[in-house]
Homo-oligomer: A and B are copies of this chain.
Amino acid sequence: MSATVTLMHVAQEAGVSPSTVSRILNGTANVTPDKRERVEAVIHRLNFTPNVQAQALANGRSFSVGVLTQKLSSAFYGETLAGIEQGLDGSPYHPLVVSGHWRAKQEQQALDLLIRRRVDALIVLGGVIGDAALQRVAAQMPLVAVGREVSGLPERCVLIDNHAGIRQVVLHLAGLGHRDIAYIGGDECQQDAVERRQGFEDSLREMGLPFQPRLVMIGDYTEVSGEWAAAELLASGLPFTALVCANDQMAFGARLSLYRRGLRVPEDISLTGFDDLFNSRYTTPPLTTVHQAVNELGQLAAETVLRLLAGEQPHLSSYVPQLVIRESTGPAPLSPTAGGH
């Protein structure tokens, strides 16, 4: 319809040079009050909005921060993104989100896309793409990784202490008298899955409890896989009184399996998760889990990126998640009902 109005139009209309308008827009230099007013009036009247692409081209920064996430529809990433958006809010920067779906190839494409769009910085949320690719990017622009380690960039990673997280779970359960504890882990192509499983094993030993490999199942962090794994565990006939899941989503799935079997939580079996997704507060019973302040982590990442962009050298440290005890865990029953049929 109406050809978009440019800075040039504003300048002509107000009877000043384009430079002056630009200066008013960016506050780059002083401008006499009357001109300023005149220009601002015209801007308002013509409803002028600067073209960000042109600005980007002219001064070499796009004012956008790339965010490489994995799955938009997952609550986990959703909350992190919200945190990032919040953290960037108030700054001139804006997030540009792409998802990699845990596939190295898609992540690479996503990265390429962000580079084409000339993002000024990058936030990486998890992912399986090789460190090399990220290092290459990091050489060009500020980069912050959340929940994954990137070799060579220790100061740029917010690490979650998964080991400590699971340890709290095991201690809690051991304290409740549980001895036969089953575990549903994530696909070990992901770093945190490895750490959590390892944490489980180690903590069991630390508590002097037997580590029973047959009570360990591997899922893929989805609800279905948790449902399936729990069903297998139950079908195996092996007795256990507590079930530790490597993330909340699998715990949700497991919960359903238990329900189908008519097992009560926590009277018959104690159930735990990891992540503390928003929904974990609303399962029946509310889930005992390990709280990762995902939203805050997102904010932290955003703020760190802003600092890096401002030329500072912030230091990121690892984050210790906290156990949240709700109602899905309770004292171990006298005799394990779980596999006992």
Contact = CB atoms under 8 A, between A and B. Distances in A.
Interface of A: 1-2, 4, 49-54, 56-57, 62, 71-75, 77-79, 81-82, 85, 94-99, 112-113, 115-118, 139-140, 223, 227, 252-253, 255-256, 259, 278-279, 281-286, 295
B72 A81 contact: yes
B82 A52 contact: no
B113 A94 contact: yes
Given A118-B51, A282-B252, A285-B259, A85 B57 contact: no
A45 to B, nearest CB: 15
A251 B252 CA distance: 16
A140 B117 CA distance: 23
5 contacts: A49-B116, A73-B75, A96-B96, A223-B282, A259-B285
Contact of A140 (B1, B75, B95, B279): B1
Contacts of A1: 139-140
Contacts of A78: 72-75, 77-78
Nearest to A284: B259
A278 B140 CA distance: 39
A103 to B, nearest CB: 13
Contacts of A281: 223
